[in-house]
Chain A
């Protein structure tokens, strides 16, 4: 990986003074050992008019993968997250940031004993990073560097493979920054923004990362319109990495076995939508509708089938009428997050006795699910391939047979009302289907008929006169249960 820093000289101030600022002599090639490879600093041109310093970092790809991983089972490194086929040797990432902080340490601090006045002054600069990974594309690069005083920010996308134009652009851009800035400011911006744009796994972990960010961001970060994005991206990936790896490693391997990306498979937890911290209004309305229906049914022992991160479980626990709440999900990752958010381990015995989280799958019948008052399938069925739906139907209505079953699912007719949703798109990448009101009612009616339930429908969210509500809910009530209750009532009446 590689970047160049150029400056232009004037008669009073020759361009070669860049060498003083960088503490690297323009006529020499110098080599530094950094934690991830060898850094070279050299000057392809060094005249009074124009001087260019190049920083070239040679990353050892084999060491990168094997570093610190230890020996896994069978003596092989268990490096599911570390690939030999890796862009790190080429792309300007956090590794280059680390190298910069080692090689240009004083320049980054703005210290220059030989030319202190020079370090304090803006100077004409041209910085080129030929392969900069940029999640968010050229637009984000503009947004991040745009407000920082450059007169020109050019971010050209790099094609993935010119032999396959249909694959489109890669996530790399060729970045050229031009303008008058203090060298230290420019370097600090790069130091922070290279890993922010990369937004990938960092290969270093340090406890003082916040301090580092504050130091490097001094003078520009506080006022930056994208400050929040910069801060969260810069800080988010460090401590999360190992934990996520622990949870998902088995799935990573299954994805690899199938030549798939892990995101394709391990996508049960969608962290961007509806977390406890940032609830989506529709999700709140959905939960309210569900709670209302459960209370109306007089349910005490409730199953949340497909509980995800446990938002509904959390709401149910707030009401003591729900004496037992069981969250079931097929994703261990979702269950781990749910357990953490519910703080189950820190609950008192009485509280924790009311709640249980367990892995399960509605593609299989499950004896543990029998005998509950109610089951909720909130935004679950649309995550199943249609041909697998009969299996779910049988597992829930045929085997578990709770007294009440609530099923919510998107109403596809309403999609035209979502301004942000392109026409014909489903609302979530993993939705295998989305139904119209008619389709949902047909299915629900047939299910009710087959399994001895009655069914009613409830609109969730604003009920648009033309396209209906955004979410549709079916409330199934077991018919036999009613009959039996009636019988008991009669007997009681007789006894009386």
Chain B
């Protein structure tokens, strides 16, 4: 692919200089040869890095030659960053010495881009004249130019040997001025093709199975009536019964524009054989050679040319899809270098060999975090599965397995069984790429440090380093298995502070806020005072194993920070069992077409989980108050009785304080009761979050509650508890009043309060922003547990009303966006790390500083 053109036939004709769109362009020329002017004329200013500029950066003087060492360090650093990011980069330095070019060539190789040389070889007089016109260079001795030109001429012939893949030499002022840089796409860049595609795994000469599979996919004579494109991941040949037949089919489809093909390692070897190189006839090549013997010379030539023209990998569908033979890490996508080709053909190995003498493959897919799906073959596996957005389609047809295709973008798998074992495998087919089944952990890089999580509904959500650090500790030491931790509930903002006498929170503000957000219908749901619980329930242990990769449990029941509710797994299973029965009896498995359900719920009593906190904080305060007030009151009464003056106010106040303390004790006692095993335990589900293939977060709450009512109805054990609700029209005064009365009545009887939610669940306001998914309005007595026994005293309320909800509201929305994202990723069958990333971020945000009483 190297091209050196030094056309000098007609200096006035226009010179076109092809430049690959991702490459490192090195301008070469003596001082004064006009490199900077040339660069400015043909490239964007940000694409050009000049050594003069870098000298200025490190030494305040663009001509300070003593700063060259540091200046080139900076230049290489910037160029490296640009190339890593996949940006065309132009280096504007003299580069007349081979040592300096060598560094640039290796920089290009390091980033797997092509180095391209553009040489400005102008007469010494021109250079001298130009330098003289520049005040900062006027004093430059003439011999410098001469030396540069000498060095340049010494290098010219060796540029290709140095590694430059394109060399353009311009020898006159006219040539320079008339030259035109033309950007060329890389061969692997087929991002403009959007398919739809049918990607077909390793074939290995199994022509009959290939024909069957193409038929299954709807191809007629190598063409699809709906215009789909087949993409072959390589290893068309060797081992199987009819490699020539397969080649003939694939080559004709490619030639007709109905298919794309990337080479496998077997094509590569066959290609070398056909070129007359000395290769070992092993791993099934002997069979192919024998079969090709029967073909014509012409056909063999066609095959050789076909293989020669194959591009090692393709980036397709706007960058969403990468196809290659053996898998490719993200940093190699769309790159062009020997090692990219080698990786695409052979994959990465650890350098070790296994007991069968085969190289141990490095599990690159485990590390893969790219956005593009990588579809590949090469490693025969008994069945396919997505790992981190990568999938291997080699299902060992030639070894008696099956031949597999992937429909894109549908992501549907189509396979046909092998007609027979065509070739005995050296070792049995095993799932070598670890999937969800063997406890493969996530990588720290998925969660650690400052991160930005891209969400569909809330844009980019940032997680700060210190919050991620705290979440890491809790997640690692206390949380349930991350495979079962598909969701953490977002925090919820309370209603705006009320000015109603004696109240800190009151429904009026909640209704008014939704009204101003443009939400007409809201549902008020009774707030159960217990502990937030998320339940994942699978239809059976097999589903848990197949969908979530866990052996044993049939789901999980965890707290809002991901901790298991019960240290005893059998208790969890008992609860999950009852839930499962209710789901089955209610017919929800079929109705939602799912084998598992994720539910948001409240587990009661509060004392079940919070008993430590209750004892050390809540009950302790009650106990201390009961110990102190009788004595204090009787001492005051005695003093008053014997005529000490000025104590009436103090005594009255102690009566009030004692009453407040008693009310506080009553308040927490309502949420405590004794349980024995599961006797007395209640679970109030209030939302179905997700099912197979579907996030349910946007399902309106009336539909949600109807499902949940059926669950409660079909639970004979008394575990499940219903959620009382009332729909309110925020624009209708009478309806709002009814909502307020409902709340007053409920909290008057000791209820915790209610949550007001938009009936439509997922709602945006007039400006397109998400509105709060729920606002809590907590009861007057309940708030004693939050703000202290005496918070209702007017002087305390006056101060407590100065609370600030802004941060809490923003936090609630960010966590909501992350929660929705986790559900979408889960439902979309995205890799575990993607789900975990969003879930982890919710936990991290929970450690942000915000008033804990809100």
In the bound complex, residues from chain B placing their C-beta under 8 Å from that of A172 are: 620, 623-624, 627
A496 within 8 A of partner (CB): no
Find out whether the CB atom of B799 lies under 8 angstroms from the CB atom of A254: no
B476 within 8 A of partner (CB): yes
The listed residue (A78, A259, A366, A392) touching B606 by CB distance below 8 A is A259
B313 within 8 A of partner (CB): no
Find out whether the CB atom of A77 lies under 8 angstroms from the CB atom of B851: yes
A390 within 8 A of partner (CB): yes
In the bound complex, residues from chain B placing their C-beta under 8 Å from that of A367 are: 367, 443-445
Find out whether the CB atom of A253 lies under 8 angstroms from the CB atom of B848: yes
CB distance from A258 to the nearest CB of B (A): 4
The listed residue (B441, B466, B613, B621) touching A250 by CB distance below 8 A is B466
Complex Cα distance, B620 from A217, in Å, reads 30
CB distance from A136 to the nearest CB of B (A): 15
Central interface residue in A83, A84, A362, by most chain B CB within 10 Å: A84
Find out whether the CB atom of A84 lies under 8 angstroms from the CB atom of B853: yes
Find out whether the CB atom of B852 lies under 8 angstroms from the CB atom of A43: no
The listed residue (A174, A332, A388, A480) touching B481 by CB distance below 8 A is A388
In the bound complex, residues from chain A placing their C-beta under 8 Å from that of B466 are: 250
A residues 395-412 in Cβ contact with B at 8 Å: 395
CB distance from B545 to the nearest CB of A (A): 14
Complex Cα distance, B548 from A387, in Å, reads 14
Find out whether the CB atom of A76 lies under 8 angstroms from the CB atom of B850: yes
Find out whether the CB atom of B444 lies under 8 angstroms from the CB atom of A170: no
The majority secondary structure among interface residues of chain A is mixed
Binds B, one of A103-111, A155-163, A205-213, A218-226: A155-163
The listed residue (A40, A89, A90) touching B627 by CB distance below 8 A is A90
Find out whether the CB atom of B846 lies under 8 angstroms from the CB atom of A254: yes
B residues 443-495 in Cβ contact with A at 8 Å: 443-448, 466-467, 469-478, 481-482, 491
Range of interface residues on chain A? Answer: 35 or more
Find out whether the CB atom of A54 lies under 8 angstroms from the CB atom of B635: yes
CB distance from A81 to the nearest CB of B (A): 10
Find out whether the CB atom of A364 lies under 8 angstroms from the CB atom of B639: no
Complex Cα distance, B644 from A56, in Å, reads 15
The listed residue (A42, A74, A174, A359) touching B807 by CB distance below 8 A is A74
Central interface residue in A161, A163, A261, by most chain B CB within 10 Å: A161
A72 within 8 A of partner (CB): yes
Indicate with 1 or 0, residue by residue over A261-295, a CB within 8 angstroms of chain B CB atoms.
Answer: 10011001000000000000000000000000000
CB distance from B745 to the nearest CB of A (A): 25
Find out whether the CB atom of A167 lies under 8 angstroms from the CB atom of B615: yes
Given contacts A61-B790, A62-B800, A364-B441, contact A72 B851 (CB under 8 A): yes
B278 within 8 A of partner (CB): no
B81 within 8 A of partner (CB): no
Given contacts A76-B803, A87-B624, A395-B441, contact A257 B561 (CB under 8 A): yes
Find out whether the CB atom of A258 lies under 8 angstroms from the CB atom of B635: no
CB distance from B166 to the nearest CB of A (A): 36
B563 within 8 A of partner (CB): yes
Complex Cα distance, B482 from A390, in Å, reads 12
B146 within 8 A of partner (CB): no
Binds A, one of B151-159, B176-184, B747-755, B780-788: B780-788
Find out whether the CB atom of B472 lies under 8 angstroms from the CB atom of A76: no
The listed residue (B470, B804, B846, B852) touching A79 by CB distance below 8 A is B852
The listed residue (A40, A45, A261) touching B616 by CB distance below 8 A is A261
B residues 528-570 in Cβ contact with A at 8 Å: 531, 552-553, 559-561, 563
B325 within 8 A of partner (CB): no
Find out whether the CB atom of B623 lies under 8 angstroms from the CB atom of A43: no
In the bound complex, residues from chain B placing their C-beta under 8 Å from that of A470 are: none
In the bound complex, residues from chain A placing their C-beta under 8 Å from that of B617 are: 83, 85, 261
Indicate with 1 or 0, residue by residue over B629-646, a CB within 8 angstroms of chain A CB atoms.
Answer: 111101111110010111
Indicate with 1 or 0, residue by residue over A1-37, a CB within 8 angstroms of chain B CB atoms.
Answer: 1101000000000000000000000011100000000
Find out whether the CB atom of A250 lies under 8 angstroms from the CB atom of B616: no
Find out whether the CB atom of B851 lies under 8 angstroms from the CB atom of A159: no
Find out whether the CB atom of B631 lies under 8 angstroms from the CB atom of A383: no
Central interface residue in B482, B607, B624, B796, by most chain A CB within 10 Å: B624
The listed residue (B440, B637, B791, B849) touching A249 by CB distance below 8 A is B849
Find out whether the CB atom of B475 lies under 8 angstroms from the CB atom of A363: yes
In the bound complex, residues from chain B placing their C-beta under 8 Å from that of A330 are: 472-473, 476-477
Indicate with 1 or 0, residue by residue over A57-92, a CB within 8 angstroms of chain B CB atoms.
Answer: 010011000100000111111111001111101110
Find out whether the CB atom of B476 lies under 8 angstroms from the CB atom of A361: yes
B191 within 8 A of partner (CB): no
In the bound complex, residues from chain A placing their C-beta under 8 Å from that of B787 are: 84-85
Find out whether the CB atom of A87 lies under 8 angstroms from the CB atom of B644: no
Central interface residue in B613, B638, B846, by most chain A CB within 10 Å: B613
CB distance from B803 to the nearest CB of A (A): 6
B residues 411-454 in Cβ contact with A at 8 Å: 438-448
The listed residue (B650, B669, B847) touching A163 by CB distance below 8 A is B669
B854 within 8 A of partner (CB): yes
Closest B residue to A262 by CB, please name it: B613
Complex Cα distance, B367 from A89, in Å, reads 56
The listed residue (B442, B467, B552, B799) touching A62 by CB distance below 8 A is B799
Closest A residue to B669 by CB, please name it: A163
Find out whether the CB atom of B853 lies under 8 angstroms from the CB atom of A365: no
Closest A residue to B799 by CB, please name it: A62
Indicate with 1 or 0, residue by residue over A136-174, a CB within 8 angstroms of chain B CB atoms.
Answer: 000000000000000000000011110110110011101
A256 within 8 A of partner (CB): yes
Find out whether the CB atom of A76 lies under 8 angstroms from the CB atom of B804: yes
Find out whether the CB atom of A29 lies under 8 angstroms from the CB atom of B470: no
In the bound complex, residues from chain A placing their C-beta under 8 Å from that of B531 are: 258-259
B361 within 8 A of partner (CB): no
Closest B residue to A46 by CB, please name it: B642
Find out whether the CB atom of A73 lies under 8 angstroms from the CB atom of B850: yes
In the bound complex, residues from chain A placing their C-beta under 8 Å from that of B653 are: 58
Find out whether the CB atom of B632 lies under 8 angstroms from the CB atom of A2: yes
In the bound complex, residues from chain A placing their C-beta under 8 Å from that of B471 are: 254
Binds B, one of A125-133, A177-185, A310-318: A125-133
Find out whether the CB atom of B804 lies under 8 angstroms from the CB atom of A74: yes
CB distance from A201 to the nearest CB of B (A): 13
B661 within 8 A of partner (CB): yes
Central interface residue in A44, A80, A160, by most chain B CB within 10 Å: A44
Find out whether the CB atom of B847 lies under 8 angstroms from the CB atom of A360: no
In the bound complex, residues from chain A placing their C-beta under 8 Å from that of B625 are: 89-90, 131
In the bound complex, residues from chain A placing their C-beta under 8 Å from that of B623 are: 131, 158-161, 170, 172
A391 within 8 A of partner (CB): yes
Closest B residue to A161 by CB, please name it: B619
B609 within 8 A of partner (CB): yes
Find out whether the CB atom of A332 lies under 8 angstroms from the CB atom of B473: yes
Find out whether the CB atom of A75 lies under 8 angstroms from the CB atom of B806: yes
B residues 230-282 in Cβ contact with A at 8 Å: none
Complex Cα distance, B629 from A474, in Å, reads 60
Find out whether the CB atom of A387 lies under 8 angstroms from the CB atom of B441: no
Complex Cα distance, B366 from A275, in Å, reads 40
Complex Cα distance, B616 from A254, in Å, reads 18
In the bound complex, residues from chain A placing their C-beta under 8 Å from that of B559 are: 258
Find out whether the CB atom of B612 lies under 8 angstroms from the CB atom of A250: no
Indicate with 1 or 0, residue by residue over B591-635, a CB within 8 angstroms of chain A CB atoms.
Answer: 000000000000000110111111111111111111111111011
In the bound complex, residues from chain A placing their C-beta under 8 Å from that of B352 are: 480
Closest 8 CB pairs of A and B: A74-B807, A390-B439, A250-B470, A76-B851, A44-B638, A84-B788, A75-B804, A250-B847
Q: Mind listing 26 A-B residue pairs with CB under 8 Å?
A: A2-B631, A28-B645, A42-B647, A43-B644, A62-B788, A72-B849, A73-B807, A75-B806, A85-B785, A90-B625, A161-B665, A167-B615, A171-B620, A172-B624, A250-B467, A250-B847, A257-B491, A257-B561, A258-B561, A259-B610, A361-B476, A363-B441, A364-B444, A364-B446, A365-B441, A391-B440
Residues of B that sit less than 8 Å from A by CB: 352, 366-367, 438-448, 466-467, 469-478, 481-482, 491, 531, 552-553, 559-561, 563, 606-607, 609-632, 634-639, 642, 644-647, 650, 653, 657, 661, 664-665, 669, 672, 674, 785-791, 796, 799-800, 803-804, 806-808, 843, 846-854
